[in-house]
Amino acid sequence: MKNGQTERMKKLIVTAVAALLATGLTACGGGGEQTLRVGTLSDSRPNAYQENGEFTGFDNALLKDIAAKEGLKLEFVSTDFSALLGQVASGRFDIGSSAIAQTDERKKTVAFSDPYNYQSLGIEAKESAGITDENSLAGKRIGVVQGTVSDTWLAANAPAAEAVRFPNDAAVLSALKSSAIAGAVFDQVSAEDYAQKNAGLKVTKAITTNIPHGYAVKKGNSDLLAKLNDGIKKAIADGTWQKVHQQFEPAIPVPADFTNK
């Protein structure tokens, strides 16, 4: 065989092997085995937090069950809530999981799954702060996580309060405990948890809303959205939703929408 023919044969063999490898890699990386990156929080009990190196909480435990039902593989990554929706919209995360209230403003940035819970808030303060409800917040420094429903609720319902915005729950709680702020507005379940674990703090008022929580996905990702919605329906129907709720939010009443009938 001449040298030219030998070189051409080598090139054909290399091309064939590369094609086979590419096919194999595509098969392994596609379909249900693709790992989805989930942006979540590490400090927002009981909704989304990290414990013993594992991401857990109501939202994440429910999402894990949905993933098992739908054949999805997940990788959880911690981030700040204030950055989360932008990171989902940019494609850094496939899913946002952190008790995200579905507001009209947020729907401009991302798409949401069907509801899997409803938003409730809690005003929290020390006994000595003189804070009882929204009417007692005027002129006081009140902590909120930037960009949350707590933030917008405070602006709308206590405009005379001085809103002090933080990147996450841990920073708000630290400021509250050190009296750098007079009070704070958290998700109700988080507020109850913080009051239970920190002597001197109490939830002075609970505020219920009809704003639904949903998992956030990038706009246009209809396939993933359909799987999340199907998984939510299955989790409600087989009683998993109520089991997860009982584990993480036993003191909060179960909305009628999430009972398995």
pLDDT tens-digit readout, 156-170: 999 999 999 999 999
Three-state DSSP state, 208: strand
C-alpha 225/C-alpha 164 separation (Å) is: 35
Task: Give the pLDDT of residue 10.
Answer: 53
pLDDT tier, 14 (very low <50, low <70, confident <90, very high otherwise):
very low
C-alpha 249/C-alpha 46 separation (Å) is: 7
Question: For residue 78, what are the β-bridge partners?
Answer: 40
Report strand pairing: 141-145 vs 35-40.
Answer: unpaired
Q: What is the pTM of this model?
A: 0.74
Q: In a 10 Å sphere around its CB, with 0-12 CB exposed, 13-18 middle and 19+ buried, how is residue 90 labelled?
A: exposed
- Domains annotated for the chain, with CATH where assigned, are 34-116+214-258 (3.40.190.10), 119-210 (3.40.190.10)
Question: Amino acid identity of 170?
Answer: A
Three-state DSSP state, 37: strand
Q: What is the mean pLDDT of residues 93-102?
A: 96
Task: Return the H-helix or E-strand segment holding 185.
Answer: strand 183-187
Task: Give the pLDDT of residue 155.
Answer: 96
pLDDT in tens, 168-190: 999 999 999 999 999 999 999 88
Terminal Cα-to-Cα distance of the chain (whole angstroms)? 77
Question: For residue 186, what are the β-bridge partners?
Answer: 122
